[in-house]
Chains A and B, each alone.
Chain A
C-alpha cells in the first residue's frame, strides 16, 4: 500500500473538503438513463473490471502531520442495486440527487460509487459518483466511456479497447512540468498579467466563502432563434461561439461589480497530450480572465478582441490556478483569484452503450464557490443555460433572477450594436425599479411654509409654541413677534427672491428670526455665529443677503446687522404679502469639492412636501414636544424648527452647546417631556452610553446623517422606549427623501434607509444611468417634488448634479453621489460615497475642500485628505501631505487652523515623501499609510489569546519572533497546509478547534484572537456541552466538578484515542437558569442530555471531584432507565457523606475553584480574593481560562456553592455496575478518604492509586495512566478478578 502526496490540483479540493468534512460539495455526479434490454450481470462485471483497471477508483485519502496523501489499496467500487420501479421522474431524480449528496468516507475509500437503479423491465439508470479528488467532468466522461466499452465486451463480445492510462502517468507529467524551464516563463507571464489586479469581487457583493454543501441551480433554455443569432454574431466577429458566450457572460457579470469590471474563472480541461488524455484524475485548471471590456466599441470588434484575449489565456493554460492563488496571496481572508466561473461545453457528450439508448444528466460538477454559469449544447441548434450558486452567497430567488437576466442580456446582445446598449435588468425588473417602486404620488397643496406657519400658529393661540430654558413663547406671541420682524424686514428690502442671513446662537430669538424671514418672503441663510473663518465670510459674501440677523459685533463687512434687541415686538409696518410656492425658503451651505462650500437653494414647495409628509407619517400633533438641538446650519434643523409651528406641537430648544453633551440632553428630554428628537447615529451611540439615557420614553426618535448601524438600533431599543426611524436625504432634496423604521431586528450591518417619501422617486443607476439589479451597489439619484432648485450662483455645478430624468422627460433628477443597494422589496441601504465625500459624525465633508485649502496655505506640495480608521475602529479626518520645503506636520496644522473651521480640521497630519499612486497614475487611497504607523506597528501582543497566537503564528510561519498583532497569516506566507497545522496547534493549546474556516475568514492575528475569545465565551467555553478535542466511534461523558466547567478534562481527552470526550458543564454558569432542586434531579437532567448526545450504545462516564458524585448518580439513572451505563470512572471522588458535615465554601473559596479547574492549587493562592485577581493570575500565565468573561466567573462561584449544597443533601443510590476509582494517594494521607467508601454504592469496585494530590488528578502527567486504566478491556479485567471479591486494585 503506497501513500503518495497529493498533487497541486488535489490540494485545493482536499483543504476545502477538510473545511467541511460532511459536505458533499466535492462529489461529481451524473445519471445515465438506459433504455432497452440491459445485461445486468455484464454490467456488474464491467464495473468490477473497471475498478481493477483504474487505480484511481481504489484510492483512499488521509493526512500525516506533514501533508495529506492518497493511498492505494482501498476496495474497488462494486455495482450497487436499487429499485425505483413505479417512481415518477421527479421522485427518481430526487433519489439520484439524494444519493449524489451522500459524502464519501475518504479515509476508508473508495472515492467512487456506481449504482444501478431499476426503473422498469427495460428502463434503468446508472448513477456514477466520483469525488473531485479523483475526477473532473472530463474524467467522468472517460469513466463512462470505458465502462461502456467493457460492457460491450462483456455483453456482446466486442473489442474492449485500450485501458485507461495508469495514474502514475499523471504524477510523472506533474514532475516533468514542475521541472520544465518553460514553467518559470509561464509563471512570469501570469504574474505580469495579474499585476495590479485589485480585489476580485463577486456578483453577490460579498466576500468569498467556502463552497456550501450543495448549490442552487437555475436552468433555462436559450430560444433557438437567439442561439442562432449569437452564433452568427460570433461568426461576424471571427471567433468561436463558445468564446463569444464567455465574453458576453463576462460583460454581464461586470454589471454586478462596483467598478464594472469582471474577473471570471475560465475552466480549461487541460487534457491535451499523451500524459493527460486518458488518465482518471482531476486536471481541470481554472484561470482568471481579466476580461477587457469596451462598452462603446462595435460589438463584433469587441468580441474579436475578447476572443483573441481568451485564445492568449489558453496558450498559457498549463500554469495552475492553485499556484497563482498562492503566489498572489489570494488564499483565505475572503480573497479571490477569480469570481464566477464561465464554462461553455459545446457538445452533448452522451456515451453510447451497446444495444441501449442513453441519455445523460449531470447532477453535480464539484463545488460551487461563487457562481458557475454553464452552457451545454451544440450552438445553433440550441443551448441550455445553467446557473449554479453557492447558497452561502446567493438565495434560490437570486439564482433564478441571474438566469433570467442573463438570458435577457444575451437575447439583447444578439441584436445590439454595443455592450453599452445592453440592459442589466429584465424588462419586468426595469418596470418594477423605475415605476412600481416609485409610486409615491400623494396630494400636497401648492402652498408655502410661511402660509402653513401662519395657519398653524393661529390655532390654540395660548398654548406654548417655544420653550427655551425659562422662556416660554405662546403660539400667539410667536405669531406676533415673527410677523413684526417680517414686516420690519420687508421694510428693509427683504422679500421673495432675496436672502437674509441668520447668525444667532440657539435661542427663542433664533426661532423668531427664522419664522420672520420666511414670513417676509425671503430665504434665510443660516450661519454659525461662532465661525469667523475666511470660509464663513466667503459664504456670507456669496449669499449677498439684504441684511444679517445677528448679535451686535458679528461684523460682516458693509452688511447691515439687525440684532434681536432692535426687533419690534408688534408689527409697525404693513404686513408683507409673503412668498409663492416656488420662491426659495432657505439657502444652506454644504461642503464643496472644489474647495468652496456650495449654497443649496430649497423652495417652499419642496420643504412643504417634506414637512407635511412627516406630520402625517408620524402623526405629529399638539401632544408632541419636539427637541431642537441641531445647529441651524445643518438641514435636519429645518423640520425641528418648523414642524412644531405647523402641527400644534411645542418646540423645546436645547441650550447652545447642549447638542454635544449627552448627559445634558438626557436630562432635558426627561425634564421637558420631549416626545420627538433627532440624533446623528454617532451621537446616538454616545447618548446611549450615558446612564441618564436609560429608560427614557419618547414617541419617535429619528436618526439620519450617516449609516445607522444595526447594532446601534438594537442597543437603542434595549435602553430607550421609543420608535426609532432611519431617515436619509441630502441637503439638495429638502432634508430627507427616504424613511424606514429601525426595529432593532435588522440583520445587515446597517439599517436600510428604506423607501421614498411622498411625491419622490429614487433610482439606483450605474455609470451609464441604467438601473442596476437588486443587491448591486449603484449610484442613488433622486427625483420629485423635494429637489432643491440648485446651487446659488453656480449654474454649471447645478447642471452637473441636477440632470434630466431619463425616465420622466422634462423633469430633473439629482445625483447624490451616494452608493446604495436595493433589496428585493425595493428598500435601499446606504453603502458609502462614490466620490471623495466623507462623513464624520454626520457632517458631510468634501475631502477636496480640505485638500484645496491645504494647497492654498502654501505649506504642502501635494495633499490627500480622507478618513482613517484606527485599530479601535474610530475614524479620524486625516491629511496626508508632501510638505513644502521647510514645513512639517506642525506647521501645516497651524496653517490649516486659520483656513478651515474646526469641523473640517484634520485631526491627523501625516507627512510623506510622495503620495502613493496606482499603476494608472491615480492616487492610490488604499495605499495611504496609517498616519501613526510606527505606533501601530509597535503595539505589542495583548496578554492571553493574542500572546498565544503570536507564538503559534511565529512557530508555524517560521518567524524568528512572535508574530505581531496585525500579522495576516496568509500574507505572511501561510498556506493551507500551515493553516491546518495552526488549527491543530490552537486546538492543542486551548482545547478548541477554531475551524479552518474561521482562520481563512479572519487571518489577521488580533482579529482571530478576538474571534476565538468570542467563540470561547459564546458557544464553546461555557455552554452546557463542551466538546473536547479528539474523535472516534466511542463517546465518554465527562461531568463537571463543583466549579461547573468541564475544561479540566482536556489533558485526559487527548489521551483517550478512539474516544470523543464531551464534557457537561453546569447550567448555573448561565445567570438566567434556576438552581436545580436536588442532585438526583440534576443527574436525571444530565442523563437526558447525555442520551441526546449518545443516542445509542453504552454511555461511559467520568467525573472528577464532586463531578464523580454526579456521574455515579447518572449511572444509577441509566440503570433505572434500562440503558447500559458503559464505564463509570470516578477521579478522586468520594460519596456525599464525606462532605455532609463539612462547612460549605465561602465566595472566596468558591472563586478559587477556578484555579483548581485550571490546574493550580487554590490553597496556595489565598491572596486572590476577587474575580479580576484570579483572571489576572491566569492571564499572566497564558492560561486559556483567563478569557473567562467576568459574568461567567460569577457563574462559577454560583456553581461551586450550589453544587456543594446539593452534595450535602444527596444520598448515594446503589448501582449494579462497576465503579472504576482513581485515588490521589498523597491528598488522602491527611483526610483518610479511601476508594472503598464507594463499596456500599456499587456492584464492583476497581481502583487505581496515583502518587499525586487531588488537584493534580487532571494534570497531563496523570492523563495517560488514567486513560489506560479507563480503557483497559473489561473482559480482560474480569478474568483477573477473584470471584467473591468485589475490589480489584491496580
Chain B
C-alpha cells in the first residue's frame, strides 16, 4: 500500500492483494462481495487509503460493492479536498 495520491489502479491492486487474486480478475462492475471481500478486509483497505486521502468515509464504501462505485467515492472526496 502507498501514501502517494490514490489511483484507481492502485485501489485495484490493493483489493487484489487482499483477495489473493490478480488485479486483472477484478472488473470495474464486478461485485467485490462475490470475489470474497468482506468487511474486515474492506476496513483494512479504507484505513490504508485514508492515510493518502484523509476524510474518506468508510461507511459509504460498505454500502456499494464494485470497484467503479468505490472509485466514484474516492474521486468525489479528492475533488472536495
Contacts and interface: CB of A to CB of B under 8 A. Distances in A.
A315 B21 CA distance: 12
Contact of A274 (B21, B42, B64): B64
Contact of A271 (B34, B44, B62, B64): B62
Nearest to A145: B59
B50 to A, nearest CB: 12
Given A307-B20, A346-B44, A268 B63 contact: no
B53 to A, nearest CB: 18
B59 A278 contact: yes
B44 A347 contact: yes
A240 interface: yes
B18 to A, nearest CB: 6
Interface string B21-41: 100000000011111111111
A50 to B, nearest CB: 16
B6 interface: no
A315 B37 CA distance: 7
Interface in B1-21: 18-21
Contact of A272 (B19, B20, B62): B62
Contact of A269 (B31, B32, B40): B40
Given A240-B18, A315-B34, A347-B44, A272 B59 contact: no
B38 A317 contact: yes
A198 interface: no
Contacts of A315: 34-36
A272 B33 contact: yes
Contacts of A317: 36, 38
A273 B40 CA distance: 13
Interface string A246-273: 0000000000000000000000111111
B38 A344 contact: no
Contacts of A314: 36-38
B19 A311 contact: yes
Given A271-B39, A272-B65, A346-B44, A239 B59 contact: no
A242 B40 contact: yes
B59 A344 contact: no
A277 B59 contact: yes
Contact of A347 (B18, B19, B35, B47): B47
Contacts of A273: 31, 33, 62-65
Contacts of B37: 272, 314
Contacts of B42: 272
B75 interface: no
Interface in A272-323: 272-274, 276-278, 307-308, 311-312, 314-315, 317-318
Contact of A312 (B31, B36, B47, B59): B36
Given A278-B59, A308-B20, A269 B47 contact: no
Contacts of B63: 273-274, 277-278
B12 to A, nearest CB: 17
A102 interface: no
Contacts of A269: 38-40
A1266 B18 CA distance: 71
| Number of chain B interface residues as a range | 20 to 34
Contacts of B44: 240, 346-347
A345 interface: yes
A138 interface: yes
B54 to A, nearest CB: 14
A1211 B59 CA distance: 79
Interface in B42-72: 42-44, 47, 59, 62-65
Contacts of A318: 33
A270 B63 CA distance: 12
Q: Give the most central of A240, A277, A347: most B CB within 10 Å.
A: A277
Interface residues of A, number: 28
Contact of B38 (A272, A274, A307, A347): A272
Nearest to B42: A272
Nearest to A307: B20
Contacts of A270: 38-39
Nearest to A284: B39
B22 to A, nearest CB: 12
A268 B38 CA distance: 7
Contacts of A307: 20
Contacts of B34: 315
B57 to A, nearest CB: 9
Contacts of A276: 62
Contacts of A271: 38-39, 62
Interface in A135-161: 138, 145
Contacts of B41: 240
A346 B47 CA distance: 11
A334 interface: no
Contacts of A145: 59
Nearest to B44: A346
Interface in A1219-1264: none
Nearest to A347: B43
A118 B42 CA distance: 36
Interface string A1260-1279: 00000000000000000000
Nearest to A272: B33
A278 B62 contact: yes
Contacts of B47: 347
A346 B38 contact: no
Contacts of B39: 138, 269-272
A145 B32 CA distance: 25
Interface string A316-353: 01100000000000000000000000001111000000
A269 B40 CA distance: 7
Contacts of B43: 346-347
Contacts of A238: 20
Contacts of B65: 272-274
A318 B37 CA distance: 11
Contacts of A278: 59, 62-63
A345 B33 contact: no
Contacts of A240: 18, 41, 44
A272 B63 CA distance: 6
A938 to B, nearest CB: 52
A1028 to B, nearest CB: 49
Contacts of B36: 311-312, 314-315, 317
A278 B60 CA distance: 9
Contacts of B31: 273
A315 B38 CA distance: 9
Interface in A219-242: 238-240, 242
A210 B23 CA distance: 44
Interface centre among B32, B39, B44, B47 (most CB of A within 10 A): B39
A289 to B, nearest CB: 13
A176 to B, nearest CB: 14
Nearest to A269: B39
Contacts of A346: 40, 43-44
Contacts of A272: 32-33, 37-39, 42, 62, 65
A1044 B37 CA distance: 67
Most buried by B among A272, A307, A344: A272
Contacts of B33: 272-273, 318
A138 B20 CA distance: 24
Nearest to B60: A277
A113 to B, nearest CB: 25
Nearest to A268: B38
A317 B35 CA distance: 10
B40 to A, nearest CB: 6
A278 B43 CA distance: 14
A272 B61 CA distance: 8
Given A268-B38, A270-B38, A307-B20, 12 more contacts: A240-B41, A240-B44, A242-B40, A269-B40, A270-B39, A271-B39, A272-B65, A277-B62, A277-B63, A314-B37, A314-B38, A347-B47
A-B pairs with lowest CB-CB distance, top 4? A277-B62, A315-B36, A314-B36, A269-B39
11 contacts: A240-B41, A268-B38, A270-B38, A272-B37, A272-B39, A272-B42, A274-B65, A278-B63, A314-B38, A315-B34, A347-B47
